[in-house]
Amino acid sequence: MNVETHTDTKFYLMHMEQEHRRLNEQLEQLRKLFEETGPTPAEREQLLHKLEALRSELSHHFSEEEDGGCLEEAATRCPSLAHEVNVIQGQHRDLRAQSEALIASVRQREAAPAAQFERLAHALDEHEILESHVLQRGFNNADVEAETF
């Protein structure tokens, strides 16, 4: 591997790790709010604000993946990953919809948004595991650790 390719690979992997770390932090903050949030309007507004921030972060993250980011580069380097990259990108619509539905549930004061949040968090975790697998294979870097959402 030449120095330029090694540097590019390191950049892609570091970028994805930073993205996942930010998303994980947001999910943990939300998990705490769902555990602590009572019925007060101020607490509901804080929860909505954090959920909207997560939705925005996910939108940005998914757009990068769909617009020729790390995953496309991995598939370019290892064409057999094209199907998995398509699966990952196909999950984006469902994850966006789950995020929107959760926000709507909180706005409408539905009874079980915490369970709905956990389903979204689990789906994001599974999504990240697949992303990490693609990056590991695409960049042939077994040292990459799969962080989970």
pLDDT averaged per 10 residues in sequence order, the chain, 149 residues: 56 82 92 77 87 94 84 89 93 96 89 88 94 87 43
pLDDT tens-digit series, residues 79-103:
999 999 999 999 999 999 999 999 9
* Gap between the terminal Cα atoms of the chain: 31
Domain ranges of the chain: 3-138
CA distance linking residue 104 with residue 90, whole number of Å: 23
Instruction: Name the 3-class secondary structure at 27.
Output: helix
Q: Does domain 3-138 have CATH number 1.10.10?
A: no
